[in-house]
């Protein structure tokens, strides 16, 4: 049976896939450019913009934020949340200052059904 995903989960999966595609394109462009010139900050910024990597990154961050918000709202209806409210809310408070916590919350949010 195929899993059913929420709109936030589907949006995150789509944004992540697009980001990964753009990362491959950027890496290829970097390799090609490196053969003919030094990669300065200006050159790198131009490549990031021209390959669509910047937009893909921004879309991924927005999709992550939507997923995180959705998971926190969805979780509030669960018995486990009510029993462990303070530690769970603490996790969500730390997500912007702790990249590992953010990644962990995203991973857990993708497991919600």
Give the pTM. 0.87
Let me know: does 94 contact 38? Beta carbons within 8 Å: no
Let me know: does 47 contact 29? Beta carbons within 8 Å: yes
| Closest CA relative to residue 54, chosen from 25, 83, 22, 78 | 22
Distances (CA, A) of 93 to 45, 49, 73, 112: 32, 32, 14, 20
| pLDDT the model gives residue 42 | 94
pLDDT in tens, 24-69: 999 999 999 999 999 999 999 999 999 999 999 999 999 999 999 9
- Rounded to whole angstroms, the Cα distance separating 23 from 15 reads 12
- Rounded to whole angstroms, the Cα distance separating 91 from 83 reads 15
């Amino acid at each position: 049976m195929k899993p059913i995903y929420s709109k936030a989960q589907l949006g995150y999966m789509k944004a992540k896939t697009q980001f990964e595609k753009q990362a491959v394109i950027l890496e290829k462009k970097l390799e090609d450019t490196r053969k003919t010139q030094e990669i300065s900050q200006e050159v790198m910024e131009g490549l990031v913009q021209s390959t669509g990597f910047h937009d893909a990154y921004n879309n991924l961050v927005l999709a992550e934020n939507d997923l995180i918000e959705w998971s926190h709202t969805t979780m509030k209806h669960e018995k486990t949340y009510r029993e462990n409210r303070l530690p769970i809310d603490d996790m969500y408070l730390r997500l912007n200052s702790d990249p590992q916590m953010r990644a962990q919350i995203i991973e857990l949010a993708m497991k919600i059904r």
